């Protein structure tokens, strides 16, 4: 199972919106609405911020939103804040009854 494809880095200024893409195949993203996104600050444990493509866990800011089109899922962060600077990972359930992660995207808030 190949890793999902994410851009290595994205950046934005405070207040702006950014979008991180996550591209998979017919074996994962296309086949299921089980895409999740995780935020990881340096030295910390990954934190779930989006599940099942577009659902936010309780306590996660509504500045975070998720979507999917075809074999690509996207995470959008609106009203960028300094605290959003972190690594972001996507994940999808697959037809092999397994999970696959993206390579991660480093978000820099300028």
Name the residues that contact another protein, by CB under 8 A: 1, 3, 32, 34, 36, 38, 40, 45-48, 51-52, 55, 57, 87, 89, 91, 93, 97-101, 103-104
* Smallest distance from another protein to CB 51, Å: 4
- In whole angstroms, the minimum distance from the beta carbon of 83 to another protein comes to 19
What is the 3-state secondary structure of the chain? CCCEECCCEEEECCCCCEEEEEECCCCCCCCCCCEEEEEECCCCCCEEEEECCCECCCCCCCCEEEEEECCEEEEEECCCCHHHCEEEEEEEECCCCCEEEECCEEEEEC
Instruction: Tell me the closest approach of the beta carbon of residue 40 to another protein, in angstroms.
Output: 8
């Amino acid at each position: 199972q190949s890793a999902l494809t994410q851009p290595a880095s994205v950046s934005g200024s405070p207040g702006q919106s950014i979008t991180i893409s996550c591209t998979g195949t017919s074996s994962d993203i296309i086949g299921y609405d089980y895409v999740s996104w995780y935020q990881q600050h340096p030295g910390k444990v990954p934190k779930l911020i989006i599940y099942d493509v577009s659902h936010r866990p309780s306590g996660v800011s509504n500045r975070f939103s998720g979507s999917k089109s075809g074999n690509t899922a996207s995470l959008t962060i609106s009203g960028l804040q300094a605290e959003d600077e972190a690594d972001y990972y996507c994940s999808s359930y697959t037809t092999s009854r397994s999970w696959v992660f993206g390579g991660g995207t480093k978000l820099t808030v300028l």
